[in-house]
Amino acid sequence: MSDTGQTTDQAVKDLGDLLGNARICMLTTMTEDGKHVSRPMAVQDAEFDGDLWFFTYDDSDKARQVAANPEVNVAFADAKHSTWTSVSGRASVVHDRAKAEQLYSPALKVWFPEGLETEGVALLKVETTSAEYWDAPSSTIKTAVGALRAAVTKNPDAFPAENRTIEL
């Protein structure tokens, strides 16, 4: 189902609600020879305004891949709430000290030992263009019954999950 009639502000709010509990996601970029590459990334604590932010190094593969082809995908799974979200967007490497200070947390020292003074540290910004999500009942029993019903009737629409697309 597509939410084409939804306002951008409402779409951003709805998507922010879906991503609110996410700590780790999978960022997918494309190599020079056209292969997709996914890697886990830590989601930065920031109010979602349509952009996703990550820390990276200037000379990382992902930074080079984004420079060559900025179209990316970011996938989120929230098994606890039975939601899955796929975000499409345009990525860029950003050097913004104020934003980095706003987003930085001590946990990042694992990857950036000198904190924001680490040589080559940069931000990766993903400007969301659209998202698709699936929201299933959080009850295991309801999910199992719905899956069984869908299998028996050979009707995948009988599975009790909502699937929507949000355009930003």
Q: Please indicate, yes or no, if residue 41 is contained in any of the structural domains.
A: yes
The answer to whether residue 119 is domain-embedded is: yes
Task: Flag whether 109 is in a domain.
Answer: yes
Q: CATH number, domain at 25? A: 2.30.110.10
* CA distances to 41, 100, 112, 124, 129 from 28, in Å: 10, 22, 22, 13, 15
Q: Is 3 within a domain? A: no
* Per-residue pLDDT of the chain in tens (168 residues, 90 and over written 9): 344 456 778 878 888 888 877 789 999 999 999 999 999 999 887 788 889 999 999 999 999 999 999 999 999 998 887 888 999 999 999 999 999 999 999 999 999 999 999 999 999 999 999 999 888 765 444 444 454 444 555 655 555 567 778 788
Domain contains 156: yes
Give the range of the structural domain holding residue 79, as residue numbers without chain letter. Answer: 8-167
- What pTM did the predictor assign? 0.81
Q: Is residue 52 part of a domain?
A: yes
Q: How many domains does the chain have?
A: 1
Q: Which two tokens stand for residue 26?
A: 């999978």
Residue 129 placed within a domain: yes
Q: With respect to residue 19, please indicate whether it lies within any of the assigned structural domains.
A: yes
Place of tokens 């200037």: 58
**pLDDT at site 95:** 97
pLDDT for 164: 74
